[in-house]
Structure 1
């Protein structure tokens, strides 16, 4: 694949790229959105900059909600919650 990505065998919209040092970049396509994360800031910025050059892309910052699920990203991990969704449907 282009840029050295491998397609996930079980999830057709998920792609990963692993560096020689074991750093990983994970990219998921959802309709017209790109969601990506990493464990290496350089890989993240390199990918983001290449997407900005190729696409009419808006950087919306860190994900806060996805499909009705609240996403909280902190230094010690990523947490998800459906509390807001549950309150909306009650």
Structure 2
């Protein structure tokens, strides 16, 4: 009701997006037809941008990237003019949970790590670095923040990288795993990494500190 007692003429409107795909155009057309019978919807054509992901479709295949998302992150941190880093992390870079470095606002650090974790969806090359830095979100210090910003500097120099999924490739499943030994300075636990691809396309990857301490 309005203040004068009359009924409010405004109506609620719920808007949502939907992504659907198929290798059959007939099935896509059938799905669209069934949906339009029940909902007032519009077909926006081939997907190009969705939740921070850029999708470029061509005859050769599909390319996924997050260039715009990373550029927004650079503007937010005022780091567009910074010198680019050649690697996400320094060689053999190690940190303690607590050292003599000055502690910083944990909310700032957590926000940055959260955004970098989202970039990992299309950038396996920063997976280890971001996973490693996410271990210090409870009490981050200046060293941790500088290391996180180094990842951002690396992304700034590799904006155009992403994942490419060709239309045709050999049907072969490959997996790669590796681990270091006792890399954590806090509890001497090791870190394992894995990467799998199907038909030469990356399908899953990850980096995780092991739950137990390896003796050898």
Match of 1:42 among 15, 22, 26: 26
Secondary structure of the 1:85 match is helix
CA distance in 1, matches of 2:49, 2:60: 19
How far residue 32 of structure 1 moved from its aligned partner, in angstroms, is 2.2
The whole-number CA distance in structure 1 between the counterparts of 2:39 and 2:25 is 21
Q: 1:53 aligns with which of 17, 37, 53?
A: 37
Q: Secondary structure at the match of 2:34?
A: helix
- Is the aligned partner of 1:88 residue 2:76? no
Normalised by the size of structure 1, how large is the TM-score? Answer: 0.60
Q: CA-to-partner distance for each residue in 1:3-35, whole Å, 9 max, x for gaps?
A: xxxxxxxxxxxxxxxxxxxxxxxxxxxx82221
Greater helix proportion? 2
| Rounded Cα–Cα distance in structure 2 between residues aligned with 1:32 and 1:66 | 12
1:50, CA displacement in angstroms? 1.0
- In proportion to residue count, which structure has more strand? 1
Question: Rg: which structure is higher?
Answer: 2
SS at match of 1:75: coil
TM-score by length of 2: 0.26
Instruction: Output the CA distance in 1 between the equivalents of 2:32 and 2:63.
Output: 23
Q: Can you give the 5+ residue segments of structure 2 that lack an aligned partner in the other structure? A: 1-14, 75-216
User: Any idea what SS the aligned residue of 1:35 has?
Assistant: coil
Say what the alpha-carbon RMSD is for the aligned residues.
1.5
Q: How many residues align structurally?
A: 60
**Higher relative CO (CA 8 A, sep ≥ 6), structure 1 or 2?**
2
